[in-house]
Amino acid sequence: MSRIGNKPIVVPEDVSVDISDGNLVTVKGPKGELQQQVDPDIEINFDDGELKFNRPTEQKRHKSIHGLFRSLVNNMIVGVCDGYKKELELIGVGYKATAQGNLLEFSLGYSHSIFFAVPKEISVKAETLKGKNPRVTLEGIDKQLIGQVAAKIRSLRKVEPYKGKGVRFVGEQVRRKAGKTAAK
């Protein structure tokens, strides 16, 4: 039994949901508009400000996509209402980031600078405060796109376990390893 798939989505009043023939769900809100194609086997009912998702059978395939599409549509509704935000932190001597429009320039300890183009759907901000590590903030309405861009930025310099240097999410805990001890 899918507990997530059976849970109805309460749609806020300032959000409009449109379901077309081919199960194309369009969500419009104060921050923008998103679309998601839902599997034709999943039945979507919209009444009294609630979205309900029903699966036709108890097949493994139907069970697996039932909760998935409910979560995707819920993320769209939250995105157009509140938006999503991810913060990354650059930890290391000389590591820095600057943003010009949607182009990020990173200095991550390599012999060259890294230029990263952020999609236009995401707003990006890079800040460096005295005494603190540089931070890159990504904001937008598409949770999946923000997570993908944040993961790509993080992969430019993964956090290493000995000194903890690299690009990490704010608040992320890194497992540290003990280094070699010199034998005397």
pLDDT digits (tens, 9 = 90+) for 4-31: 888 999 999 999 999 988 889 999 999 9
pLDDT tens digit sequence for 119-171:
999 999 999 988 899 999 999 999 999 999 999 999 999 999 999 999 999 99
pLDDT of res. 4: 87
Fold of 84-169: Outer Surface Protein A; domain 3 (3.90.930)
Six token digits for residue 9: 């989505």
As a whole number, the mean pLDDT across the chain is: 91
Select 3-81's CATH number: 3.40.50.300, 3.90.930.12, 3.40.50.10540, 3.40.50.150: 3.90.930.12
Residues carrying CATH 3.90.930.12, the chain: 3-81, 84-169
Mean pLDDT of 60-69: 91
Residue matched to tokens 């590591």? 95
| Residue 28 burial (C-beta neighbours within 10 Å; 0-12, 13-18, 19+) | middle
DSSP string, 52-87: EEE-SS--HHHHHHHHHHHHHHHHHHHHHHT-EEEE
